[in-house]
Amino acid sequence: MGHTLVIVESPTKARTIRGFLPKDFKVEASMGHVRDLPNNASEIPAAHKGEKWANLGVNTAANFEPLYVVPKDKKKVVKELKDALKGAEQLLLATDEDREGESISWHLLQLLSPKVPVKRMVFHEITKEAISRALEDTRDLDMELVHAQETRRILDRLVGYTLSPLLWKKVAWGLSAGRVQSVAVRLLVQRERARRAFRSGSYWDLKARLEEGEAGFEAKLSHLKGERIAGGSDFDESTGALKAGSKVRLLSEAEARQLQVQVQANPWQVTSVEEKPTVRKPVPPFTTSTLQQESNRKLRLSARETMRTAQGLYERGFITYMRTDSVHLSDQAINAARSCVSEKYGKDYLSPSPRQFSTKARNAQEAHEAIRPAGEAFRTPNATGLDGKDLALYELIWKRTVASQMADARLTMLAVELQADGGALGPAQFRASGKRIDFAGFFRAYVEGSDDPDAALEGQELLLPALKVGDSPACKAVEALGHQTQPPARYSEAALVKMLEKEGIGRPSTYASIIGTIVDRGYATLANNSLTPSFTAFAVTALLEEHFPDLVDTSFTARMENTLDEISHGQVQWLPYLESFFKGEKGLETQVQQREGDIDPGVSRTVELEGLPCVVRIGRFGAYLETKRVAEDGTEELLKATLPQEITPADLDAEKAELILRQKADGPESLGDDPESGEQVYLLFGQYGPYVQRGQVSDENPKPKRASLPKGAKPEELTLEDAIALLRLPRQLGDHPEGGRVEAGLGRFGPYVVHHKGKGEKDYRSLKAEDDVLVVGLDRALELFAMPKKGRGGRTALKDIGVPEGDDEAIQLFDGPYGLYVKQGKVNASLPEGTTADTITLEQAVELLAAKAATGKAAARKPGAKKPAAKKPAAKAPAAKKAPSTTKTGRLRASAVRVIRAADS
């Protein structure tokens, strides 16, 4: 008797589901997608090599027929699946229950051509009950979902592979455009433009500390002589002045200080007391989007980390499927959540009746449940055996789900108006606001934006003493406060996800990859949870806005998203839609051909920013400043100066630009003489930031001693003594107790300490933010050596994979913001999709690192050697996605010998 073959995407999912299936079931993993459009020329079958459309992978002349190929790294998987199918009595395709999962199942069906009955098996959680139900309720493939996913894939390929080559010619080689990626980049650029155009306004107000009985409270000035006092929202962001027509009183510093003296000396009186009962209802359970937002706010996880962690929890049976727009909960989930409430908080905290939520998100689809703990009874976080990010994310999901079935929180909002005599300035009105929690309700389990409900309860409550009209509280102190209005905040990942969802752009399940792509491609940097766009982002956005405005317009992109959803519901035919989008007079293909000749590369590579004495241009190796100046002989000449990579459009002001240009024109600035060598010490600005140099470059001294400034050090504050100390690094700290010397130095990745163990073996540790490389001592160095070794970004290795034969350095596995990667020395390589910490072998790791090292060598070749590739760029595309380069220049150089895939959304 034969077996039943079940195919899922990942080994983890296979292991979990295997435990819930009968013994005659065999479970195999497809390791993600088994077939896709070609990513490079080597993947194009010989029969299609000469076709004009082959590099695109879509035959636009024949009904947009996609050319699907099995990538080299998936051929072994496909063979194993075909072997597993031999002798099987039936095939169950158990990939995820969304469009992409349906698509993977369809591709498997096309490749395997099974002669046995085939059924689609779907479930939104991996529990015994859910798998049993799924076995009884199998269905056929949903071809409307498959067509919708195919159309989305083809559309993204058409946009990316049509616009990207245009950007290579007109801006910089290796850039990419994407249907959703480019809109998201524009959002970042628009916010940065607003920040640059922002003009700060200043205003003053008063804060008083009052006391009634023994209870103290604070009140703020609200009106003076009946006129409302100006606040931050009353200012025009583009001028820094009050908005036109504002009927408010702008208090000067002198008036504020005069009023401070008057009201402190005069009696105060309560003129009004108001108590307003209010009710807060719990927020719905998590969707993909809200999970990414809260995880970013509370746990500081990137969208990618959140989705990767959630996927692991789902595949191991801890939570329901993590790609969903639905806030619906099944009866089973509601009962499980209500049981948790009763057991943990008591029946008083249960909502009077079960709560059900409805989805309000635009384009909502994927008709499963909200993200919740799996099963008919929810495991409490401390009973899961999870730890680290897994536990933190599970606990977040558990709390949010349980809170959704809890009683409303009942609060009373408190407001007290007080008046004091302001002398010649007239009567001053102050307001004290408070909040009293009468019944905590769901706050006991979950407060949005706060990671500790108990602490949040205290923070939510702001009690005022029992006051009544006519009372005269004692004034203990009055403070005059000056304020500056603040520019609009940059997008955090959470804020960008929220905006994309609000505008109906892309699908929430793709937001993680979109944001990751933007950072990978050098369009933005992510620091302190803020996304800052680069000069390249400004240049590309300006080009697309001028020549292809629809493609970066939020409403146009949202309408496109609507149409894709209508295709998935069978309401719109996919082929006519692709025809109208790509072909004809107004189609993308024609628009690009017509516009290409109109676009001046010199203009496209120029970024003009307000208030600068120069322009910024995008060059082969990054951004540089350019301005005209009059030479000594009276002729006009162009002056160019490389911009340090760390400078973003947000950082560049007239003062910085003038400093960099002046140094380029007049030569480096001398800080003084080095007393030991007698040579002058210079401060210079290079592509990788500011650095100091001893002596000038000459035939006798072609490589003078140089040292980078530590991260965060301000060039304008650098002293000669500091510069000399940096140039004398590394410093000897002493001997290690186990033998060998210890040094402190400053390297490519920042300050470090190193233990020279002998025979060329060295042990490095990065210094912490509080350590100073110029003063750190041996004791502190030994403390750092005692800590577990961490990779870049402060990450501890998950495990040592082993030492390859003939090497003396181990390969380690790390978990970074862009996924799992292996590292040996200075080379790291991302793990391919489907490979996990459990399945990676030493042989695979060696291959991945060798491929990455080879890419690095190719990228280092002379750019001119690769110029012919511009005519047929797709012929140089990579076979697999590479790990992100450590620097923007690294990314640009690497991209000069490869085609970067457009962001698939």
Active site residues: 321
* Whether the Cβ atoms of residue 69 and residue 36 lie closer than 8 Å to each other: yes
Q: Taking the CA of residue 33 as centre, how many other CA atoms within 13 Å lie in the half-sphere pointing to its CB? A: 16
* Whether the Cβ atoms of residue 439 and residue 410 lie closer than 8 Å to each other: yes
Question: Going along 736-789, which residue ranges are E strands?
Answer: 741-747, 750-758, 761-766
Question: Going along 9-99, which residue ranges are E strands?
Answer: 25-29, 58-59, 65-66, 88-93
Of 498, 103, 133, 121, the C-alpha closest to 330 is: 133
Q: Please count the other Cβ atoms lying within 10 Å of the Cβ belonging to residue 269.
A: 15
Who contacts 404 (Cβ-Cβ below 8 Å, separation ≥6)?
A: 282, 283, 284, 285, 329, 337, 355, 357, 442
**Is 440 in a helix, a strand, or coil?**
coil
Which conformational region is residue 337 in: left (phi greater than 0), alpha (psi within -120 to 50 degrees), or beta?
A: alpha
CA–CA separation, 264 and 257 (whole Å): 11
CA–CA separation, 618 and 638 (whole Å): 16
Of 271, 309, 326, 316, the C-alpha closest to 97 is: 326
**Distances from the Cα of 494 to the Cαs of 289, 303, 501, 664, in angstroms?**
9, 8, 11, 41
For residue 905, give both structure tokens. 């959304």
* Whether the Cβ atoms of residue 400 and residue 385 lie closer than 8 Å to each other: no
**Distances from the Cα of 434 to the Cαs of 222, 411, 415, 633, in angstroms?**
15, 10, 6, 72
Asked whether the CA dihedral 75, 78, 83, 84 is positive or negative, the reply is positive
Continuous H helices in 806-865: 842-859
Which conformational region is residue 341 in: left (phi greater than 0), alpha (psi within -120 to 50 degrees), or beta?
A: alpha
Sheet with 689-694, strands from edge to edge, namely: 669-673, 680-686, 689-694, 706-708
